[in-house]
Amino acid sequence: MNLLENKIALVTGAGSGIGKAIAQLYAREGAKLVLTDISEKAGEGSLAEIKKVAGQGIFIKADSSIPSDNERVVSVAMKEFGALHIAVNNAGIGGTLKYVGEYPVDDWERVISVNLSGVFYGMRYQIPAILSSGGGSIVNIASIMGRVAVRGSSAYVAAKHGVIGLTETAALEYAKQNLRVNSIGPGYISTPLLMNMLDEARLKYLEGLHPMGRLGKPEEVAELALWLNSDKASFVTGSYYNMDGGYLAQ
Q: Which of 125, 156, 174, 188 is catalytic?
A: 156
Indicate whether 2 belongs to any domain: no
Q: Are 26 and 34 in contact (CB under 8 A)?
A: no
Question: What local confidence, expressed as pLDDT, does residue 90 receive?
Answer: 98
Percent of the chain with pLDDT over 90: 94
Question: What local confidence, expressed as pLDDT, does residue 205 receive?
Answer: 94
Looking up residue 18, the CATH number of its domain turns out to be 3.40.50.720
Indicate whether 107 belongs to any domain: yes
Indicate whether 219 belongs to any domain: yes
pLDDT at 55 over 90: no
Indicate whether 25 belongs to any domain: yes
Question: What local confidence, expressed as pLDDT, does residue 33 receive?
Answer: 98
Indicate whether 3 belongs to any domain: no
Q: Give dist(CA 49, CA 22) in Å, integer.
A: 13
Average pLDDT over the chain, rounded to whole? 96
Residues 188-232: pLDDT tens digits?
Answer: 999 887 877 788 899 999 999 999 999 999 999 999 999 999 999
Question: What local confidence, expressed as pLDDT, does residue 206 receive?
Answer: 94
**How many structural domains does the chain have?**
1
Indicate whether 176 belongs to any domain: yes
Indicate whether 189 belongs to any domain: yes
Question: What local confidence, expressed as pLDDT, does residue 194 receive?
Answer: 82
Question: What local confidence, expressed as pLDDT, does residue 160 receive?
Answer: 98
Indicate whether 126 belongs to any domain: yes
Q: Give dist(CA 107, CA 145) in Å, integer.
A: 18
List Cα–Cα distances, 246 to 46, 97, 188, 231, in angstroms. Answer: 30, 24, 11, 27
Does residue 188 carry a catalytic annotation? no
Q: Give dist(CA 65, CA 68) in Å, integer.
A: 9
Residues 107-163: pLDDT tens digits?
Answer: 999 999 999 999 999 999 999 999 999 999 999 999 999 999 999 999 999 999 999
List Cα–Cα distances, 52 to 55, 56, 71, 120, in angstroms. Answer: 7, 10, 29, 33
Indicate the SS3 state at residue 239. Answer: coil
Mean pLDDT, residues 168-178: 98
The parent domain of residue 120 ranges over: 8-249
Q: Is the dihedral of CA 78, 240, 30, 4 positive or negative?
A: negative
Residues 66-123: pLDDT tens digits?
Answer: 999 999 999 999 999 999 999 999 999 999 999 999 999 999 999 999 999 999 999 9
The predicted model scores a pTM of: 0.96
List Cα–Cα distances, 247 to 42, 85, 87, 157, 241, in angstroms. Answer: 30, 32, 27, 15, 12
